């Protein structure tokens, strides 16, 4: 399997040698990724497949005119033709007067634990077994539970990058995941769905956690509880908070938005923007993180970047292009769409530092509040202002330190930048989640106070 990484690196090196004779600057990013996935819905296997996503993205520069090309065939002849197509595109493009250069050589951090030799040998049947194990175990615990969907899968792949500044690097990675999505009938209708997931870069999944956590939530959700409109206490799990921040804070710390004047946080580095108890880090080197890799979409070494340290804004996230526009250096956060050639800026692993209080102890001190495990409608949040109006689902009522049931139709409204100033307690229950478009989120449950809550009318 190591041979494929070397094959891509050799092809990348050949491309730069071929193209450098024809253009001022050139770069190439090659990927060869495989995904194995399985879905079991309502007791039936509706998906069990292995797919390949292979391709190369080439960018060239001729006198500040940029052109790009994509191919899904990785052989020398096709790559050379793609270089010629990129040159034609460059000649037809408008010059970019602000263009400087592709990234220079840099030192890469040695990473371990990102590759499991056994995963490429697995077939979809292995993950079908995981999915059915989860489904069967949940049914054994409570036969009234409806298995909306269980699933499992894995990925493995190789990446190589090279440019005309002498950069040549390659990497490989593996990962697996499993999840359950279930619900159950109640006297008033149906429970909100319960979702539990586990992810790992090696072939090991905590199926017991997936099963037990989902069933625990459903059994509680079978009990209906009433919400109260007004200002209240909420506890957000990291997947719920991460999904909200993905469309608000994460957008505000993108270097491109800072340069374009679309970030509320522009010119606020060093200022207090959150609770002094909060620390957020984009950690591209996090051990076992789903977003951990040797380099980003421009071949720049990934790194650990503290975004907010004890409430103070410390850094924005940059890809190479926008960093050079603002007199900064890349933080290793370039993401790449191979087919379109678009280079964006994205988080790697968004890490929220944990506290010392267990979720159980946190909840026990709340006289009246809500535990929120999911948010619907976060994509409609205002990315520039941070304003949000979302449905908390599932949301569980807390009365005198006890979870008493599920609240249906609970709305949360406010501003994400105000929300992160209202932290009361940070939990110690740190877990890994996958949250789009923020990617991997690692963090604990967090208690917030004075949050606007709108309960559904009877």
Q: Is the pLDDT of residue 258 over 70?
A: yes
Is the distance from CB of 298 to CB of 320 less than 8 angstroms? yes
In this predicted structure, what is the pLDDT of residue 2?
63
Residues 151-167: pLDDT tens digits?
Answer: 999 999 999 999 999 99
Q: Measuring CA to CA, how many Å separate 232 from each of 227, 420, 430, 450?
A: 10, 15, 24, 5
Q: Residue with structure tokens 């993205």?
A: 57
Task: Find the mean pLDDT for residues 24-28.
Answer: 98
Residue 60, C-beta contacts closer than 8 angstroms, at least 6 positions apart: 19, 22, 23, 25, 26, 66, 67, 68, 83, 86, 87, 90
Reported confidence tier of residue 254, pLDDT bands at 50, 70, 90: very high
Reported confidence tier of residue 458, pLDDT bands at 50, 70, 90: low
Residue 136, C-beta contacts closer than 8 angstroms, at least 6 positions apart: none
Reported confidence tier of residue 436, pLDDT bands at 50, 70, 90: low
In this predicted structure, what is the pLDDT of residue 341?
87
Dihedral of CA atoms 432, 438, 444, 450 in degrees, nearest 10, equals -160
CA–CA gap between residue 82 and residue 85 (Å, rounded): 5
Residues 362-386: pLDDT tens digits?
Answer: 999 999 999 999 999 999 999 999 9
DSSP characters for 143-176?
A: TT-EEEEEEEEEEEEEEEEEETTS-EEEEEEEEE
Q: Is the pLDDT of residue 212 over 70?
A: yes
- If you average pLDDT over every residue of the chain, what do you get? 94
Residues 384-425: pLDDT tens digits?
Answer: 999 999 999 999 999 999 999 999 999 999 999 999 999 999
Q: Is the pLDDT of residue 1 over 60?
A: no
In this predicted structure, what is the pLDDT of residue 46?
87
Q: Is the pLDDT of residue 437 over 60?
A: no
Long-range pairs for 129-133: beta carbons < 8 A, 24 or more residues apart: 130/38, 130/178, 130/205, 130/207, 131/38, 131/39, 131/40, 131/45, 131/178, 132/40, 132/45, 133/207
pTM here is: 0.93
Q: Is the pLDDT of residue 438 over 60?
A: no
| Domains contained in the chain, CATH given | 2-218 (3.30.2290.10), 225-454 (no CATH)
Residues 68-118: pLDDT tens digits?
Answer: 999 999 999 999 999 999 999 999 999 999 999 999 999 999 999 999 999
Reported confidence tier of residue 45, pLDDT bands at 50, 70, 90: confident
Q: Is the pLDDT of residue 257 over 70?
A: yes
């Amino acid at each position: 399997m190591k041979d494929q990484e070397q094959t891509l690196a050799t092809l990348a090196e050949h491309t730069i040698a071929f193209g450098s004779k024809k253009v001022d600057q050139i770069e190439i990013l090659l990927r060869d990724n495989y995904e194995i996935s399985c879905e079991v819905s309502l007791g039936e296997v509706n998906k069990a497949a292995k797919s390949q996503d292979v391709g190369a993205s080439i960018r060239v520069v001729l006198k500040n005119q940029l052109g790009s090309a994509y191919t899904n065939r990785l052989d020398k002849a096709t790559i050379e033709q793609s270089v010629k197509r990129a040159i034609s595109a460059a000649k037809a493009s408008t010059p970019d007067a602000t263009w400087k250069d592709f990234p220079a050589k840099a030192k890469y951090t040695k990473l371990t634990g990102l590759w499991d030799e056994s995963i490429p040998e697995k077939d979809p049947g292995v993950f079908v077994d995981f999915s059915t194990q989860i489904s069967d175990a949940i049914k054994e615990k409570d036969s009234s539970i409806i298995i909306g969907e269980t699933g499992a899968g894995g990925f493995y792949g190789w990446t190589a990058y090279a440019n005309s500044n002498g950069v040549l690097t390659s990497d490989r990675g593996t990962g697996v995941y499993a999840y359950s999505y279930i619900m159950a009938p109640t006297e008033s209708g149906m429970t909100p769905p319960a979702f539990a997931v586990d992810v790992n870069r090696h072939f090991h999944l905590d199926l017991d956690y997936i099963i037990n956590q989902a069933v625990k939530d459903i059994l509680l959700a079978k009990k209906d509880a009433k919400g109260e409109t007004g200002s209240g206490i909420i506890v957000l799990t990291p997947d719920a908070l991460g999904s909200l921040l993905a469309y608000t804070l994460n957008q505000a710390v993108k270097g491109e938005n800072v340069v374009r004047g679309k970030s509320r946080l522009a010119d606020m580095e060093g200022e207090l923007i959150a609770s002094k108890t909060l620390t957020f880090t984009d950690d591209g080197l996090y051990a076992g993180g789903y977003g951990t890799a040797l380099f980003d979409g421009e071949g720049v070494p990934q790194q650990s970047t503290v975004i907010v340290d004890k409430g103070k804004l410390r850094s924005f996230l940059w890809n190479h292009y926008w960093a050079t526009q603002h007199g900064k250096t890349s933080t290793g956060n370039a993401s790449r769409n191979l087919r379109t050639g678009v280079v964006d800026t994205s988080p790697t692993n968004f890490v929220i530092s944990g506290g010392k209080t267990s979720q159980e102890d946190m909840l026990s001190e709340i006289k009246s509040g809500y535990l929120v495990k999911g948010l619907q409608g976060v994509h409609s949040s205002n990315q520039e202002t941070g304003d949000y109006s979302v449905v908390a689902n599932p949301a569980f009522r807390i009365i005198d330190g006890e979870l008493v049931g599920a609240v249906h139709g609970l709305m949360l409204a406010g501003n994400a930048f105000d929300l992160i100033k209202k932290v009361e307690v940070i939990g110690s229950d740190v877990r890994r989640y996958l949250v789009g478009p923020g990617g991997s989120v690692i963090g604990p449950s967090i208690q917030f106070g004075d949050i606007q809550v709108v309960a559904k009318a009877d």
